[in-house]
């Protein structure tokens, strides 16, 4: 096979400062008698002509030690067990790993690793298109290593695993494959697809934390619903929870979410809340514990259940702004946003929109201190007056500070509020 050198393509395509950094990193490595390579997604995206802000470097040597020389003074995150170091270089996030061989003690477990060659390191990768490397040492700079036909697969738009046990060793590669398939517009190669279907059960060997991470990566994609729909077709989604659905309902809500948050992407929590929206309370709890969701995210999911039970009340023919406020106030804002996106143009959806855009920001002119100065004693009556003032503001009965003062005086003169019925 003719040797391919990508140095010119790198200089042409990569920002000047980045190709400069890669060249100087190669020089530093050679000074340490080490061989340095650019690998993984950065190589794939270079060949596809796409920008990539995550750089994966592999060194035949000592990753963390080389990182300390390349990024003096910057914060290094080091994983001794894997021989990896992570740091930022300008706008790039750099992962520098010691070339390694992996050994899986049992399916789904994190692998045991021993130092190895660049060839070993490429063998442990997920798909051929992610298993290409470019040499960075000065004498061989740009030298292209493609041991598993990655370039050809890239041209044909195919995702191919490197060996038959790949999904058994690490079933998270299933989710990764579905992401790449949709993002790059690629297809899983025939045998890879067959093995993926056969080994979907291996997802049960993956810890909740790792599954959550994979799902978060899906939800960070530009169009997560495409990955979710494909995952549903292949029974991969069911491994998160058997009652999750990836249908047109979800597609429509995700589209609405994007239109709402444009030009930013919706948050992962909002996407997750929509994905889990139609699960019953009990099933949501199962998902929360399976994925070991954090407390704030779990709260968002739980609040969508609470809000959903209020949609009927929020659809009533006539509702004063203060009534909308009372029905919605206290729920997590991401949950309210999810419920609004579910409600759409129906009355409940429009009212939730009004709450989010307007009502929740309505404030009284009088503060607690002002009320105290007017002689209101602390206690339940105090809170009640504050709430009534806010309602008056919301419903337009008070439009100025003077209006609020007059109302507060009237209520004070009428005596303490009667206890709630």
Return the residue of 24, 48, 51, 54 that touches ligand ATP, per CB under 6 A: 54
Site for ligand ATP in 146-205 (CB under 6 A): 170, 172-173, 176
Binding mask 55-84 for ligand ATP (x = CB under 6 A): -x----------------------------
Long-range pairs for 48-52 at CB < 8 Å and ≥24 separation?
Answer: 48/154, 48/184, 49/13
Dist CA 182 CA 170 (whole Å): 20
Stretch that binds ligand ATP, among 123-131, 199-207, 330-338, 348-356 (CB under 6 A): 123-131
Work out how close the CB of 45 gets to ligand ATP at its nearest, in angstroms, rounded to a whole number.
7
Q: In the complex with ligand ATP, which residue's Cβ is closer, 117 or 315?
A: 117
Q: In the complex with ligand ATP, which residue's Cβ is closer, 218 or 279?
A: 218
41 forms part of the interface with ligand ATP (CB under 6 A) = yes
Q: Which residue number has the CB closest to ligand ATP?
A: 41
Dist CA 234 CA 192 (whole Å): 13
Compute the chain's Rg from CA coordinates.
Answer: 28
Site for ligand ATP in 311-340 (CB under 6 A): none
Work out how close the CB of 281 gets to ligand ATP at its nearest, in angstroms, rounded to a whole number.
33
Size of the site for ligand ATP (CB under 6 A): 12
Give the pairing of strands 92-98 and 54-60.
parallel
Dist CA 69 CA 17 (whole Å): 18
Work out how close the CB of 198 gets to ligand ATP at its nearest, in angstroms, rounded to a whole number.
18
Work out how close the CB of 47 gets to ligand ATP at its nearest, in angstroms, rounded to a whole number.
12
Cα dist. 230→192, 204, 297, 317 in Å?
Answer: 15, 19, 25, 40
Q: In the complex with ligand ATP, which residue's Cβ is closer, 174 or 240?
A: 174
| Six token digits for residue 280 | 């019953």
Binding mask 126-145 for ligand ATP (x = CB under 6 A): x---xx--------------
Q: In the complex with ligand ATP, which residue's Cβ is closer, 115 or 344?
A: 115
Site for ligand ATP, rule CB under 6 A: 40-41, 54, 56, 125-126, 130-131, 170, 172-173, 176
């Amino acid at each position: 096979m003719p040797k391919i050198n990508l140095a010119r393509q790198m200089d042409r395509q990569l920002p000047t400062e980045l190709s400069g950094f890669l060249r100087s990193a190669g020089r530093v490595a050679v000074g340490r008698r080490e061989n340095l390579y650019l690998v993984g997604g950065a190589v794939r995206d270079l060949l596809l002509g796409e920008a990539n802000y995550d750089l994966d470097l592999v060194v035949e040597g000592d990753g963390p030690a080389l990182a300390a020389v390349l990024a003096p003074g910057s914060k290094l995150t080091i994983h001794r067990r894997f021989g990896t170091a992570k740091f930022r270089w300008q706008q790039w996030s750099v992962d520098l790993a010691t070339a390694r061989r992996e050994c899986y003690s049992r399916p789904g477990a994190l692998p045991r690793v021993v130092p190895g060659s660049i060839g070993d390191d490429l063998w442990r990768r997920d798909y051929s298109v992610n298993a290409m490397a470019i040499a960075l040492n000065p004498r061989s700079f740009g030298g292209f290593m493609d041991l598993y036909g990655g370039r050809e697969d890239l041209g044909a738009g195919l995702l191919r695993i490197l060996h038959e046990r790949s999904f058994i060793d690490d079933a998270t590669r299933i989710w990764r494959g579905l992401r790449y398939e949709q993002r790059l517009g690629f297809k899983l190669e025939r045998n890879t697809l067959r093995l993926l279907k056969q080994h979907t059960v291996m997802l049960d060997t993956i810890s909740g934390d790792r599954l959550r991470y994979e799902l978060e990566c899906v939800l960070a994609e530009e169009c997560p619903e495409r990955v979710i729909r494909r995952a549903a077709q292949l029974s991969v989604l069911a491994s998160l929870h058997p009652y999750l659905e990836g249908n047109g309902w979800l597609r429509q809500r995700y589209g609405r979410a994007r239109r709402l948050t444009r030009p930013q992407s919706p948050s992962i929590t909002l996407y997750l809340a929509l994905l889990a929206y139609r699960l019953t309370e009990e099933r949501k709890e199962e998902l929360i514990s399976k994925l070991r969701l954090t407390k704030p995210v779990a709260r968002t999911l739980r609040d969508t259940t609470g809000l959903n039970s209020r949609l009927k009340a929020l659809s009533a023919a006539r509702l004063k702004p203060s009534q909308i406020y009372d029905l919605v106030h206290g729920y997590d804002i991401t949950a309210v946003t999810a419920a609004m996106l579910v409600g759409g143009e129906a009355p409940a959806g429009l009212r939730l929109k009004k709450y989010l855009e307007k009502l929740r920001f309505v404030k009284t002119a009088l503060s607690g201190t002002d009320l105290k100065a007017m002689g209101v004693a602390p206690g339940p009556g105090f809170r009640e007056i504050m709430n009534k003032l806010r309602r008056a503001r919301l419903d337009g009965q008070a439009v100025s500070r003077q209006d609020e003062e007059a109302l507060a005086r009237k209520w004070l003169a009428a005596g303490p509020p009667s206890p709630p019925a």
